[in-house]
Structure 1
């Protein structure tokens, strides 16, 4: 396997997408932090009339994640990333390493991505925020009551995720999952975000929920406080805890 992931990405682009309008290498490989086990995340813009798809393959011993799209497909994917509040593809184009830029196509895609990232996600509907407040309040009650260490760790994950969603929305900041959750939390709120992460780590390491609970209560105070009595929703065919898409009223 070639030790240089950038050159490997260039070869893949030349061999598989010789007519590409734009090719961007993202992730740790683009940032110069790649390990031998790191994936290659490659966004590929092709002419309209082609197929928009995602594909995972192995090339020269390395896993490659291909994000292939037409111009129309790219616009649809950008819109979908806004709806999920994660802006994954926008981040790839905004911070990735440009390998192919035919007629300025990569530059235009990057400008669009950067504009979206600056704007941030739309604010959640008030009902969605209320439902998340209720869910976090309930999870904090469970965290305080949990006696089984495994249950406590499991509930701590729910508290971290629920508090993070509310904090992201409070700051109109992009969210993230997996390894991107701590990264985005620190970006959105370096102080309180780090307190949530440290509190969660404390539960996992020592079983003590105090710091996580305090940080989560601070998040609740930012968005209207805990919510228990008085909460009511009428069933309308959606699970309200996940009904958070912009423009759709939960409940």
Structure 2
């Protein structure tokens, strides 16, 4: 049997979702970068009344990540992805390969996804940015002082994540996890994001934190600078936090 991933995705759609209104193949298989072990990332729009869910299955020996949803479910997932600042399903619709499109449903989904992606994620509120500045300042101090190699690597991961969040928010750019974090960083700010990533790589290879410290410090300066003394937060219980502040 032909094991071409695109043809596999077509067979999966026909076998498992014969009534689908739209099927989009995303990820590396949609861009021609798939390897023999690459999984299939597939968004499936099902008729109203169906379920919205995510499921991992194996089809013809290949791992498949299914993102199944109704029209209403798609809008809810789009909203959740915007709130999470990731735009996962939007990216699938916007850049994926359309395998099934009934009455233009895939096209309408793509238009909505592209509008979200153009708008970008919501900016972090000032209090959150301040807290992230404080956290990154503390992590940079720890990284500069770390003598234990294992601890240094652990703190470097905190610095990478904290600096990335601030830089991506500064540019109102989407974030991502795993391999998508460096991709998002380079797309948002090739120089600063690239310097942060290269500094992290240099530290992992040599143990020298200096380039990473410099790159993260530049990002911190771009977003308000170091924050130590003067930082204060008043604790609000979960019940209090759930009540809107109407002052």
TM range (shorter): over 0.9
- How far the C-alpha of 1:33 sits from its partner, in A, is 1.0
How far apart, in 2, do the equivalents of 1:166 and 1:229 lie?
Answer: 20
Match of 1:64 in 2: 64
Q: Determine whether 1:185 maps to 2:188.
A: no
How far apart, in 1, do the equivalents of 2:158 and 2:133 lie?
Answer: 13
- How far the C-alpha of 1:24 sits from its partner, in A, is 0.1
CA RMSD of aligned residues (A): 1.4
- How far the C-alpha of 1:114 sits from its partner, in A, is 0.5
Match of 2:233 in 1: 233
- How far the C-alpha of 1:236 sits from its partner, in A, is 1.6
How far apart, in 1, do the equivalents of 2:209 and 2:185 lie?
Answer: 19
* TM-score, length of structure 1 as denominator length: 0.94
Give secondary structure in 2 for the equivalent of 1:103: coil
Q: Which consecutive aligned stretches of 4+ in structure 1 deviate over 4 angstroms post-superposition?
A: none
Unpaired stretches in structure 1, ≥5 consecutive residues: none
Match of 1:206 in 2: 206
Give secondary structure in 1 for the equivalent of 2:235: coil
* Contact residue 49 and residue 70 of structure 1 kept, 8 A: yes
How far apart, in 2, do the equivalents of 1:2 and 1:196 lie?
Answer: 43
Count of aligned positions: 241
Match of 1:148 in 2: 148
* Contact residue 3 and residue 36 of structure 1 kept, 8 A: no
Match of 1:31 in 2: 31
How far apart, in 1, do the equivalents of 2:157 and 2:45 lie?
Answer: 37
How does 1:219-230 map onto structure 2 within 5 Å?
A: 219-230=219-230
How far apart, in 2, do the equivalents of 1:2 and 1:185 lie?
Answer: 37
Deviations 1:209-237 (A, max 9, x none): 00101011100111110000000001124
How far apart, in 2, do the equivalents of 1:201 and 1:210 lie?
Answer: 12
